[in-house]
Structure 1
Amino acid sequence: MLVTNLGYPRIGRQRELKRLLESYWEGRCSTAELIDGAQATEEANWRRQLKLGIELLPVGDFSLYDHVLDTAVMFGLIPARFKPLSQNGGLDLYFALARGTEDAPALAMRKWFDTNYHYLVPEWDPETQPVLSRNLPLDAFRRAQRRLGTAGKPVVLGPFTFVKLSRVTNWQRALEAMVPPYAQMLQEMEAAGVEWVQVDEPALVCDVTAAELKALTATYTELARPLKNLKLILQTYFGSANWFSHLITLPVAGIGLDFVRGRRGNLANLEHYGFPPGKVLGAGIVDGRNVWRTNIEEALRLLEKLQSFVPRERLWLQPSCSLLHLPLSTAGEDSLPPALREALAFADERLAELRLLKRALAEGTGVVAAEISAANRALRALETMDHRRIPAVRARVAALKEEDFSRPTPFSERKELQKRRLGLPPLPTTTIGSFPQTPDLRAARARFRRGELGRQEYQALIREKIAAWIRLQERLGLDLLVHGEFERSDMVEYFAARLPGFALTTNGWVQSYGSRCVKPPILYGDVWRSQPLTVAETTYAQSLTSKPVKAILTGPVTFLKWSFVREDLSEQEVAYQLALVIRDEIRDLEREGIAAIQIDEPAFREGLPLRARDRERYLYWAVTAFRLATAGAGPETQIHTHMCYSEFGDIIHAIEGLDADVISLEAARSGAGVLAAFREAGYRRDIGLGVFDVHSPHPPEEEAMARLLREALRVFAAEQLWVNPDCGLKTRREEEAVTALERMVAVARRLRAALAPERHGKQNGPSKGAIGS
């Protein structure tokens, strides 16, 4: 029996990777300095894991930007539009794929299964033939050998999952094409003395067809045939493995299973099918995605049960998935209430839990009795914390009636009322909400948090920024303005800081993509609104202009999915508590005359269960939570929502069910796919397609935006269509944001003018761009 890990947070203890990347992109550090600094962070991660008791160290899980992108580059899958950069290769090409260039849009971004981590979508050109250009996992193995004297376990993204995550026209042909380069990669590892390789195949917890299973079997049969000494552990996570009886027959030396999210299904599979003799079982026994301390006694009972299926010498103790999704350590989180801090386990604490579990199994629970007792006390103390249970909050949820979930006026009537109130032109322009968070603003926020800047002085700076950007939006000609969110560090954390039942960490950073890190709040108690959240800033902005200003709130599903959430209540009940907070805020915004309110739900698609059989229940409570938040709004109040970086084809009916007046979606990187999904569904509400990529530093070209909008007008009536960026602009520099918005408004005006004669001639009929035309 040994303790291993599946992956470790990449960002560094002080977010060193973030700072290195941004310094490199700004030209303040060289390629050599970036590589040296990144490898120093990687080595520090290795040393920390070994110190915490990891006996088989994962190597190759580190990445400069994204592990899926690394795999695509390693196998030479470079779309044709990047071919001019292919001659140079290296980091210029790598970061161009991730961030785009002036001439080539970046690869699309999607959510990594049902997490808030974003991966880059590999693209297969018709003539693409993958080849192994550089064996990156083997390079990492050799670095670990050289620097630490450790024979690590290379981590690779499995071929089946890689192809499933890619944009391909023929997945079977693509999977067959991946076999030779994968086989070469593994054979090179075997020649270098690698003993174990972790092959991640999380797609195997999703719905898998019989044809896919057949192709998977053929793939692994071919990969394993030439191997003599190299052993593969096929690693699944994020749920229970599909087609379990078949997976355990594959020619691999081990199977890794998730016994946290997939505990019930994986245990049922073991009880029904058993586990093959001679194979290793990687038991994901501690939670790699949530932060609550493991119940050690319960985990030991589970491990005892697992030993009835596999002998102890073939049992590996590991997290349920990569620890990429957790902050690094609870050390230094002294601002948290002691009872809460003691109930938490981040990445380092998870590894310590694994070591404790092994010791208890190997030496008996008596030798770790004190540690088990401390864990039990911590979990009991959590249950008695202030705000854990608030009777009034529970009673309000329990008293909800059917009419609390519906706006009484239908959309068609609301649209006319809102049209008269807002007075917007065709193809109205707006933004998603946030404007650039400049260095002076971030510095002032840090000084305010440290007590070095007074509240009045800080609020004066926020108002100054709001006023400047209201004037700028008017000058640019935007139609529906926003206040800019200058007071917000993060769209969830800002609100959580003002709501009882949430706690904020000091250094609980988690990678979202590339250099982007977020600090998820900890939702440990019942939630209610004790004060207005956005009213002051929104109404101040509205006082500065005669144009309508749109308030921006975060939706209940995103609140839930982008926090570390309590596990003693159902997600539905937590979501309803959060929805009532938003409902109360909408009421106060309406009282102040705010006519448009956006409820952001970028996590709506992300939260969709990985198997179709589990989705109906999720979509029910996710949709009803949104409706509960918004159903109290008057018919003349325009409710917007925003979603991004997802595939929407399988949830369009649920999007319609939200009963929002306007939805805005990311389309700059994936416009054709989004349009195809909505064309098929015949969506009838208003929609804003994100016409430029806010994550690229390169200003959008007007013709590219115009082309996307012209395509959209083939799917939607002009009266349905809005024009906006694909996400907030907080990460862009001011000059980048201004240039992009100037061009966006110019395109909207040009198309609006072109539509005017047609609209004049067809006032009572559908526009040329109507659905079905």
Structure 2
Amino acid sequence: MTVSVATLGFPRIGPRRELKFTLEKFWAGKITQTELEDAAAGLRTAAWARQKALGADWLPSNDFSLYDHVLDTSMMLGAIPARYDVESAEDAGLETYFAMARGTTGGSRCRHAHGSVTAGEMTKWFDTNYHFIVPEIEPGARLQLGRPKPLEEYREARAQGFETRPVLLGPITWLSLAKGHGVDPFDLLDEVLGHYVTLLGLLEHAGAEWVQIDEPILVTDLTEQQRRALTRAYAKLGRAGPKVMLTTYFGGLGENLSLAASLPAAGLHIDLLRAPEQLDAVLKAVPKDRLLSLGVVDGRNIWRADLASLLDRLDSLAAQRDLVLAPSCSLLHVPVDLELEGKLDDELKQWLAFAVQKIEELDLLRRALNEGRDSVADGLAVAACASEARKTAARIHDRAVGERIAALTPGMRERSAGHAERISAQAEVLDLPAFPTTTIGSFPQTTAVRKARAEHNRGVLDTASYGAFLREETERAIRWQEEVGLDMLVHGEFERNDMVQYFGEKLSGFAFTVNGWVQSYGSRCVRPPILYGDVSRPEPMTVDWWRYAQGLTEKPVKGMLTGPVTILNWSFVRDDQPREASCRQIALAIRDEVLDLEAAGCKAIQIDEAALREGLPLRQRDWQHYLDWAVDCFRLAAAGVGNATQIHTHMCYSEFNDILPSIGAMDTDVISIETARSQMELLEAFAAYRYPSAIGPGVYDIHSARVPGENEMVELMRQAQKHLRPEQLWVNPDCGLKTRGWDEVRPAIAAMVLAARTLRAETQVEA
């Protein structure tokens, strides 16, 4: 029996975000398409070479993407909506690809031949912080096999001496993620399967022995339609070409195990990090002649594996059957290389493993199982020492935090009055017009802002000069908001690097990287904080900046905070206690900040929970437990204020229809949500639920370079009024404006203000 090592996917962005910077140069017109493609090819080659050098036996190809792997699949299958005006999938090039990803304007580098075009809807990839472009299926759609990217990248690797296992997004997962406009995506099952069969035949002819087909939908609650589709699909795909490694991740197979085991695939990958308990059942269900791939190191978090425990579990199994050891999922979700971190202290650094180190861990495990533990005794000793050091480290636990948690009472989660009474008190204090306008919080992080921050971090710009620069930017933003006519202002967040990192840097229990970047979507990368210990707030974090901004204007300025659930879900979280315990600690820290803002005179405080839906377990039976503690943590953070203090929250790019009772239980006064790309679709569910609070449905898609006009925004708000009362509605973008440029933001927000004025006039006429 032999043990081998596979990687299911490697980070695309490059060790130092090379892909991000190359894409942005291309979009700005500074490099050609050839230069973009050459840079992308260089990143792919470097990734294959590095994984092979680290000891991976199975290298992935087609795990690279210029924007999103789901969008890649949609393009390959010819699922291109009519608004992109493409005659055939073979004609669709980068112009169409980036139009679907980002939208276009008449003046953008990747402008569409027919002018301004909206982007595809974007939402979260299962329960991760990675965003994908939702496939759209329109009535009468006929799919065509377009550019066979998996084949091209397999051939590219082979020409360089790398034998790879092409990675394909599974057809049933793709169809399950697709949105049909008046049509059921599964009506196209036979067409989709026909194209997959053709592709698999091409791959086999090119020399591919195996393909990896990712079907994470198998770890969710399947409908009968999905079950039938899976059976039908793999009856064809399992015999259409190369051997199939059916790959599941993000959870356990559960009641879908018998189905997965029955599918005629030559191999099966399971996630033993999210569902370690499933191994025994899988071993019983999966025949020994089927290659079993075990996800034994965490593809979604950055802690070192407990190698000794893993070996104890795997020893007897490795003697009975061939095994592949792999990360639990693609390494897309972790940073590239821990060795690029020069500022992490040695104690903390020894506890961590990024993508490179995870492959090294897998190589150690393989060698120990194939050659005996003595062959890697030194490596195992280092791992054991690090594991023990983490268990006994004094910096992890804070007695004062534990005492505060023990002293919590139910009353700390309750507002002192109901919603109707609060509305009256807030209206008197804020005196806002109908359809009040605001933004979500951040304004463009210009080159000048980023340069000043970088120079301050390097010590080139002293603290006094940096502070003066930030005050100038803040005042300029306040003055512009007054001039354009916004009703509730924000200070712009120029001092903040990231909505989670900024707070984590000011809280105890967090550590930060320099190059620990992961892809969120497209060229957008984030550096998740490392939450390693108990959390508390040593001192106020935002009060001074709010006080400065409010002192510049008579209009209300929102206090801007990130909520406890979002800070948790967008961090690499400690794995030595339940996530809810860490979240409750963060909630107490945010509560302290909320109360300090109120004491300073702040009358509207926004506590963003953009990641609330993202953290929802994939199995519905587990939802309520998560929602109970997530809502509890939000209320703990927010409920200490008086009736006249207006509590806002913001959520983006998620489906809320099935969790509206929990959103209602958060007991906010105003919620802002993404509805621009989805054309106000969410509001129907809010109306059916009879959501009592005010809602700001996004009328401006900030993730697109496209600048919408006043009439478009008015029409969206007219659609909103079909579902909600005018007095419930705010007018705002669908997310923060940090990633946009002022040349886009100024006309878009001006149009938004004009749209609100038009709506007020229409409402007065009707009255």
TM-score, normalized by the shorter chain, greater than 0.5: yes
1:85·1:93 contact (CA, 8 Å) conserved in 2?
no
Aligned residue number for residue 767 of structure 1: none
User: Which residues in structure 2 correspond to 1:690-729 (within 5 Å)?
Assistant: 690-729=698-737
Deviation at 1:175, TM superposition (A): 2.3
2:216·2:248 contact (CA, 8 Å) conserved in 1?
yes
Deviation at 1:672, TM superposition (A): 3.8
Deviation at 1:679, TM superposition (A): 2.7
Aligned residue number for residue 608 of structure 2: 600
1:130 alignment partner AA: L
1:89 alignment partner AA: A
Instruction: Render the CA deviation track for 1:752-771: whole Å, top value 9, x for unaligned.
Output: 11102334xxxxxxxxxxxx
Aligned residue number for residue 146 of structure 2: 133
Instruction: Render the CA deviation track for 1:560-588: whole Å, top value 9, x for unaligned.
Output: 01000101121111111100111000111
2:366 alignment partner AA: K
Deviation at 1:646, TM superposition (A): 0.5
State the alpha-carbon separation in 2 of the partners of residues 613 and 208 from structure 1: 13
State the alpha-carbon separation in 1 of the partners of residues 313 and 734 from structure 2: 45
Deviation at 1:305, TM superposition (A): 5.3
Q: 1:170 aligns with which of 175, 178, 184?
A: 184
2:249·2:328 contact (CA, 8 Å) conserved in 1?
yes
RMSD value, Cα: 1.3
Aligned residue number for residue 233 of structure 1: 245
Deviation at 1:476, TM superposition (A): 0.5
State the alpha-carbon separation in 1 of the partners of residues 325 and 293 from structure 2: 6
Q: 1:485 aligns with which of 488, 493, 502?
A: 493
SS at 1:527's partner residue? strand
Instruction: Render the CA deviation track for 1:111-155: whole Å, top value 9, x for unaligned.
Output: 0000000000010111212221121111111001112x1221000
Deviates more, 1:125-134 or 1:111-120: 125-134
Q: 2:101 aligns with which of 71, 83, 98?
A: 98
State the alpha-carbon separation in 2 of the partners of residues 680 and 234 from structure 1: 40
SS at 2:262's partner residue? coil
SS at 1:161's partner residue? helix
SS at 2:534's partner residue? coil
**Number of corresponding residues:** 751
State the alpha-carbon separation in 2 of the partners of residues 277 and 306 from structure 1: 11
Q: 1:414 aligns with which of 405, 419, 422?
A: 422
Q: 1:297 aligns with which of 295, 308, 312?
A: 308
2:95 alignment partner AA: D
Unaligned runs of 5+ in 1: 760-773
Deviation at 1:322, TM superposition (A): 0.1
Task: Say whether 1:247 aligns with 2:260.
Answer: yes
Task: Say whether 1:79 aligns with 2:81.
Answer: yes
State the alpha-carbon separation in 2 of the partners of residues 376 and 708 from structure 1: 58
Q: Percent identity?
A: 50
Task: Say whether 1:187 aligns with 2:198.
Answer: no
State the alpha-carbon separation in 2 of the partners of residues 727 and 385 from structure 1: 39
Deviation at 1:90, TM superposition (A): 1.1
User: Which residues in structure 2 correspond to 1:664-683 (within 5 Å)?
Assistant: 664-683=672-691
Aligned residue number for residue 397 of structure 2: 389
State the alpha-carbon separation in 1 of the partners of residues 211 and 198 from structure 2: 14
State the alpha-carbon separation in 1 of the partners of residues 86 and 637 from structure 2: 49
Deviation at 1:383, TM superposition (A): 3.2
2:323 alignment partner AA: L
Deviation at 1:105, TM superposition (A): 1.1
State the alpha-carbon separation in 1 of the partners of residues 276 and 531 from structure 2: 23
Instruction: Render the CA deviation track for 1:633-660: whole Å, top value 9, x for unaligned.
Output: 1111000000000011111111000011
Residue 462 and residue 44 in structure 1: after superposition, are their counterparts in 2 closer, same or farther (change >3 A)? same
Q: 1:119 aligns with which of 107, 132, 136?
A: 132
Task: Say whether 1:144 aligns with 2:144.
Answer: no
1:85·1:92 contact (CA, 8 Å) conserved in 2?
no
TM-score by length of 2: 0.96
State the alpha-carbon separation in 2 of the partners of residues 177 and 263 from structure 1: 37
Residue 51 and residue 5 in structure 1: after superposition, are their counterparts in 2 closer, same or farther (change >3 A)? same
Deviation at 1:88, TM superposition (A): 5.6
State the alpha-carbon separation in 1 of the partners of residues 531 and 316 from structure 2: 32
Instruction: Render the CA deviation track for 1:620-639: whole Å, top value 9, x for unaligned.
Output: 00000000001111111000
Aligned residue number for residue 70 of structure 2: 68
Deviation at 1:301, TM superposition (A): 2.1
Aligned residue number for residue 752 of structure 2: 744
2:300·2:334 contact (CA, 8 Å) conserved in 1?
yes
Residue 224 and residue 572 in structure 1: after superposition, are their counterparts in 2 closer, same or farther (change >3 A)? closer
SS at 2:326's partner residue? strand
Deviation at 1:365, TM superposition (A): 1.2
User: Which residues in structure 2 correspond to 1:190-339 (within 5 Å)?
Assistant: 190-227=204-241, 230-242=242-254, 243-264=256-277, 266-270=278-282, 273-304=284-315, 306-307=317-318, 311-312=320-321, 314-339=322-347
Q: 2:13 aligns with which of 11, 35, 39?
A: 11
Aligned residue number for residue 766 of structure 1: none
Deviation at 1:268, TM superposition (A): 4.5
Q: 2:26 aligns with which of 11, 24, 29?
A: 24
TM-score by length of 1: 0.96
Instruction: Render the CA deviation track for 1:387-420: whole Å, top value 9, x for unaligned.
Output: 3100010110111111111112111100110011
Residue 474 and residue 386 in structure 1: after superposition, are their counterparts in 2 closer, same or farther (change >3 A)? farther
State the alpha-carbon separation in 1 of the partners of residues 577 and 505 from structure 2: 21
Aligned residue number for residue 768 of structure 1: none
Deviation at 1:675, TM superposition (A): 1.9
1:387·1:500 contact (CA, 8 Å) conserved in 2?
no
Instruction: Render the CA deviation track for 1:19-61: whole Å, top value 9, x for unaligned.
Output: 1100000000000000001110111111110110011110010
